[in-house]
Structure 1
Amino acid sequence: MWVGLGSIRDVTTSTAGGLRVGLAVLGAATLLTSCTSEVTGSPVTAAGPPPGTVDIASLDVGNYPTKPAPLGTAGKPEVGAIVEAQRMANYVIGPWEVDPALVVGYIRQPMVLLPGQVSVPMLKQVNQAAERYQFVNGFFVSRRSADDKTFLHHAVLRFPDPGAAAAATAEIARVAGEIQLPMQTSPATPLPIPGHPETVATSSTHNNGPRSWATVRSATPRGPYVLLQQAQAVDVDATAALVAKTLDLQGPLIDQFKATNPAEFADLPLDPTGLLAKTLPIAPKDAILTQRTVYQRLGGLQFQSDPVLSATAFTDAGVDLVSRGKTTVYQAADAASARQLADDFAEEVGVGNKPSDGVAQLPDSRCFSGDAGNHCIASADRYAFEVSATQIADAHQQLAAQYALLMAG
């Protein structure tokens, strides 16, 4: 999974003027959002009755559903392959765990990877090499540092068996080594990765006027998986160390993943936790491959605008599940924890965005407006949730419908 350096700038798209994570996604790109400037203003808390006394019938939910509907199974192997890759996201190391500075979203990511469905330039060539060895599916993440000096693209690809993964490693490494990256000033040369003799890696140098850096591209077989990295840092040693630490963390983690036999993909449940049915649904034609699912803690952090900050909030609130539909729902330990999580989110969203009216009938609902639209946050029982929309009336209706869904039982 190697992408050209220097030529591809951040193409992640913010919602609601740099709002949080996991909101309704616009278009076909997977989005991350950012909230990193100073807080301005205070959130406007909607007036309303105390928690537990909301009259659901009084809420304006527009045409949105308010009753959970069972979702069944994947039904088709190709749908099951997506579900399985979404499950894999819970076992793919986040770049910020390798280096806490790697929190800024980079490239269209995170992404579910499927044969023939990789849209990022240069990844297509690697994907074609992987397909020759019956590539099954995978998951891709990418983050950079705020100073733009370090980044890490990282993916886990699954193959039918360890033999296919080993053969694919050699082919992918060969293809990647032939890709000329922008501003590359030296040929790609073989590079040993400390502590990982099984890894096939190359290094190259790059220069952009006063700035220079080293790039390492690597492929490592691990059972039926291939672990892929493209990393950038100030010099070769630092970059190789970044790859080595990624492998130190990723190898044992993917070993814990209980993979489903592809012959059983069609039978995979779409909503094993039941939380997706309680999440405002997004139409399949509008969804991207990382939506319409429920992630565990690590998988949910992959979509956070600042995963280091959110990791602390998740731990404090006891978040164990994150559901991504048209809205995003976070399952916390209890109602008090969910309210605190909503407060944390509101503080983050308040960075650089203007407070606006919440939903009058929902106590403690908060909304904000920014250049890209509107964002609202609330809690219901043990759940915190957030929505985004271009029009504030739509955001209010989504928020109300999401509350009703969660309280419907």
Structure 2
Amino acid sequence: MWVGLGSIRDGKTSTAGGLRVGLAVLGAATLLTSCTSEVTGSPVTAAGPPPGTVDIASLDVGNYPTEPAPLGTAETPKVGSIVEAQRMANYVTGPWEVDPALVVGYIRQPMVLIPGQVSVPMLKEVSQAAERHQFVNGFFVSRRSKDDKTFLHHAVLRFPDPGAAVAATAEIARVAGEIQLPMQTSPATPLPIPGHPETVATSSTHNNGPRSWATVRSATPRGPYVLLQQAQAVDVAATAALVAKTLDLQGPLIDQFKATDIARFAELPIDPTGLLAKTLPISTSDATLVQRTTYERRGALQFQTDPVASTATFDRTGTDLMSSATTTVYETRDEAGARLMVDRFSAELALDADSTDAVQGLPGSSCFALEGGGSYCVAAAGRYVIEANAVQLADTHQRVAAQYVMLMAG
């Protein structure tokens, strides 16, 4: 379930998928603040006929389009680089796979990384170092534990060739080690990572009154990629072990990624599965770098409020594809799977959520008022699940209704 990974700007909301916590994403030219609101109450299900008897003509779709719109190719190398980085998200290890406690959204994430458009402190300096070695693109994720004792920032960066990746590793590690972190009480010192002699890493200690922790920053070349981590745990040994397990998982995973030749980025299809064409569109100027795309299973999980819980939901519903534009659409195995996902997403919000009016004419839809303003709705459409959020509830309703009609038309 993903509520908060959209940006409310100038009275408009663009939804990027199912992350129902306050995360922010890297936008087309800047970082866009997400809906960080928490919600309270229980869902209200819209009255109406049984599923399968929706009166399409009665749905209020506002001015939103209702016909699928096929998309072409990236057309430019820059857009192709973004599309390729979005594809890479499916081959980036989620922090929860390293430690199931790492489920809470942290810092500004997930992010597509491309040269010249990284403005997050620390990442900006690292990106600048990477650009000196022809950095191509990358993908960044970050999660922490609920008790705030452990966190993991993790990224995969691509370079033109293994030689450039090796050269970048040394410089990135040097630059990262020179960045003074808040409450740092010791200089960064070299640290070997168990089982990974190729990794260049440093450790430092931090103190905030009675609380102390260790931070490890590491860079590892892997073919044309550099695997980056900044991890925090109770001591150096625990933190180094967190980094080592991340590398144990990430190395073989990125080896499976079928990277596109850089010279052919402009030829990459924006919508290889056809699901994005059936998703309520978003303009290129409003889209963040993680929107206007589809994600496979792991990529979709990167954006979930609780990826561990969502993994179970995806398993039960046969969900392996998610599109992200003005709305978010999940493709499940069948209609029963879609209804189950709506129930689970609604139940997740209903634990502490205020419900509001459901979408008129869509039985089984559920809507919630966001505490800081705005609204969120979820509904099933055949074997698909729709998520939408906007500032005004009426707008959210129209987005869901238009998305329903579009899916039924496609």
TM-score range, shorter chain: over 0.9
Cα-to-partner distance string for 1:258-301 (whole Å, 9 max, x where unaligned): 00001100000000000001111122222110001000000000
Contact kept, 8 Å, 1:42 with 1:355, in 2: the verdict is: yes
The equivalent residue for 1:8 is none
Distance (whole Å) between structure 2 residues aligned to residue 14 and residue 157 of structure 1: 25
Greater alpha carbon shift after TM alignment, 348-357 vs 239-248: 348-357
Contact kept, 8 Å, 2:42 with 2:352, in 1: the verdict is: no
SS of corresponding position for 2:32: coil
The equivalent residue for 1:96 is 96
The equivalent residue for 1:390 is 391
Task: Please tell me the residue identity of whatever aligns with 2:283.
Answer: A
The equivalent residue for 1:399 is 400
Tell me the CA shift for residue 351 of structure 1: 2.8
1:275-290 aligned at under 5 Å gives the runs 275-290=275-290
The equivalent residue for 1:126 is 126
Q: Does 1:256 align with 2:256?
A: yes
Tell me the CA shift for residue 390 of structure 1: 1.3
Greater alpha carbon shift after TM alignment, 217-226 vs 348-357: 348-357
SS of corresponding position for 1:385: strand
Tell me the CA shift for residue 374 of structure 1: 1.0
TM-score, L = length of structure 1: 0.92
Q: Does 1:352 align with 2:352?
A: yes
Distance of aligned partners of 1:33 and 1:332 in 2 relative to their CA distance in 1, 3 Å threshold: farther
The equivalent residue for 2:235 is 235
Match of 1:21 among 15, 18, 34: 18
Distance (whole Å) between structure 2 residues aligned to residue 32 and residue 170 of structure 1: 37
Distance of aligned partners of 1:31 and 1:154 in 2 relative to their CA distance in 1, 3 Å threshold: farther
Cα-to-partner distance string for 1:303-360 (whole Å, 9 max, x where unaligned): 0011111111011100010111111111000111011011101111223221112122
1:360-375 aligned at under 5 Å gives the runs 360-371=360-371, 372-375=373-376
Root-mean-square deviation over aligned CA pairs: 2.1
SS of corresponding position for 2:249: helix
Q: Does 1:333 align with 2:330?
A: no
Contact kept, 8 Å, 1:22 with 1:328, in 2: the verdict is: no
Cα-to-partner distance string for 1:94-149 (whole Å, 9 max, x where unaligned): 00110111111111100000011111012111111101110000000000111111
SS of corresponding position for 1:304: coil
Distance (whole Å) between structure 1 residues aligned to residue 36 and residue 401 of structure 2: 23
Distance (whole Å) between structure 1 residues aligned to residue 291 and residue 228 of structure 2: 23
SS of corresponding position for 1:284: coil
TM-score, L = length of structure 2: 0.92
Distance (whole Å) between structure 1 residues aligned to residue 35 and residue 311 of structure 2: 16
The equivalent residue for 1:139 is 139
Unaligned runs of 5+ in 2: none
Tell me the CA shift for residue 369 of structure 1: 1.1
Tell me the CA shift for residue 22 of structure 1: 4.6
Unaligned runs of 5+ in 1: 1-10
Contact kept, 8 Å, 1:22 with 1:324, in 2: the verdict is: no
Distance (whole Å) between structure 1 residues aligned to residue 247 and residue 380 of structure 2: 38
Task: Please tell me the residue identity of whatever aligns with 1:29.
Answer: L
SS of corresponding position for 1:142: strand
Distance (whole Å) between structure 2 residues aligned to residue 302 and residue 356 of structure 1: 28
Contact kept, 8 Å, 1:322 with 1:328, in 2: the verdict is: yes
Distance of aligned partners of 1:32 and 1:320 in 2 relative to their CA distance in 1, 3 Å threshold: farther
Distance (whole Å) between structure 2 residues aligned to residue 25 and residue 375 of structure 1: 17
The equivalent residue for 1:87 is 87
**Count of aligned pairs between the two proteins:** 393
Task: Please tell me the residue identity of whatever aligns with 1:360.
Answer: Q
Tell me the CA shift for residue 12 of structure 1: 8.1
Cα-to-partner distance string for 1:63-108 (whole Å, 9 max, x where unaligned): 1000001110001000000000000000000001101111111111
Distance (whole Å) between structure 1 residues aligned to residue 24 and residue 230 of structure 2: 26
Tell me the percent identity. 74
Tell me the CA shift for residue 32 of structure 1: 8.0
Distance (whole Å) between structure 2 residues aligned to residue 171 and residue 32 of structure 1: 36
Cα-to-partner distance string for 1:334-393 (whole Å, 9 max, x where unaligned): 111011011101111223221112122111111111313211110011101111111111
